[in-house]
Structure 1
Amino acid sequence: MNTWLPMNVLMIDDHVMFLQGMKNLLSVLVPELRVETAGDMGNAVKLVELAEFDLVLLDWHLADCTGEESIRRLRDAGCLARIVVLSGDTDATMIRNTVDLGAAGFIPKKYSSEMMVAALEQVLAGRIFLPLETLNAPPPPPAAETRPAHDPRLAGLTARQMDVYRAAARGLPNKLIARQLDIAESTVKAHLTAVYSALGVRNRTEAAYQASREGVRID
């Protein structure tokens, strides 16, 4: 479980029992984990303005906020954490929407504790996790056949292009990537175009699905 340490996690869910259950599960598995919780987006925004988080576990259907708005509000508040969506709804279109918005993963709430932890381990290991069984997508290849940690397709990219790719893979919008790397937003777009060309995809969503299918690391 070394991938979890050190780690500041923010859990946002208005279902108190699920929120407490997940917190208890993570606390038992990783006692050193630092977990903050919020039952609504208003309190979540206050927390991300006060502290830096490495991972956000976000309920897609909050009573006070839609999933799309939740992600935008977190990013507008300066949250640079990887955001993983948890939801009881596994509609394929909705899952794709979370990817379009830059989520680093989507975990169905129907998963067992073991499956949830395994999915989070993939995210923390630098991979995108998507429930491919709900998307009519082929399963990922066996571990021995997955692409290596350093994808050879990216070998020709510059260090700055890789910096932009890593930031995009965390779900950061172009404006925030530009601010973080102190470059123009147009430069961010140009770098991402080079990345997608190297991967043989057209956009972030296709890149995320490809990475999830192939078990490709993005860090």
Structure 2
Amino acid sequence: MIEILMVDDHAIFRSGMRRLLSDEPDMRIVAEAANGQEAIECLRRRSYGLVLLDINMSGRSGLDTLRRIRLEWPTQAVILLSMYPEAQYAPIALQLGARGYLSKDREATELLAAIRIAAGGGYYLPPGMAQGSLLQAAAGEAPPAWKRLTEREWHVLRLIVKGVSLTDIGDELCLSVKTVSTYRGRVLAKLGLHSNADLVRYCLEHGLAE
């Protein structure tokens, strides 16, 4: 069962999506959010097989929310939905880490296919666009090293970059200092770095710092 978080600031659209997906035996909307901040709060409470995320929302935009999701949950599958042209926004969405982008005027069968593909670890590219630079933006020939970090390693990295001590990180994550130090070592090894200063610089250079 693909459990979905639906993020859109229009209640009528969310209701329509619930009705659409209720007929599918392998997927369901289990949580809803009306804006980016609510989406982040939902993700902090539990995990989802997929996030359906609108681009144009009040407050934090869908693209900004996607960036935040990538920071805290780098493996979370996300599909962006919008009325904006796919040719204009699909490459941006995929470069930011989305697993698909669909205009809201697409057929329901395309959305259902995209959900299954993205939740299964693939990328859904709109018909006629699954080629050339767009495909490279989605899959990437050489994914950046930070995408190999686990969720726990991400938490440790973010706290280190904020200047939190290993002892305080351990207290926050309910881990021993030795375990936190081990995670720090794994992060440094995966990123090919040597110090906390290197971690800060790396995050700034790759747009990963909050």
Shift of 1:173: 4.6
* Paired position in structure 2 for 1:209: none
Find the partner of 1:118 among 90, 113, 121. Answer: 113
Counterparts in 2 of 1:87-102, with a 5 A limit? 87-102=82-97
Paired residues, number: 155
- CA shift for structure 1 position 37: 0.6
- 8 Å contact 2:5–2:32 — kept in the other structure? yes
- The residue number in structure 2 matching 1:106 is 101
Q: Does 1:184 align with 2:184?
A: no
From 66, 70, 74, the equivalent of 1:75 is 70
Larger Rg: 2
1:169-201 per-residue CA deviation (whole Å, 9 max, x = no partner) reads xxx8566668169432562579xxxxxxxxxxx
Would you say 1:85 and 2:59 are equivalent positions? no
> What residue in structure 2 maps to residue 11 of structure 1?
6
Where do 5+ consecutive residues of structure 1 fail to align? 139-153, 155-163, 191-219
Work out which structure has the larger RCO, using CA pairs closer than 8 Å and 6 or more positions apart in sequence: 1
Q: Check whether the contact 2:72–2:151 (CA below 8 A) recurs between aligned residues.
A: no
TM-score (norm 1): 0.59
Paired residues of 1:13 and 1:19 also in contact (CA < 8 A): yes
Residue 68 of structure 1, CA deviation: 2.4
- Identify the residue that residue 50 of structure 2 maps to in structure 1: 55
**Cα distance change, pair 69–113 in 1 and its aligned pair in 2 (3 A):** same
- Stretch deviating more after TM superposition (104-113 or 66-75): 66-75
Match of 1:33 among 28, 31, 49: 28
Identity %: 23
Q: Secondary structure at the match of 1:56?
A: strand
What is the TM-score of this pair, normalised by structure 2? 0.61
RMSD of aligned residue pairs (Cα, Å): 3.3
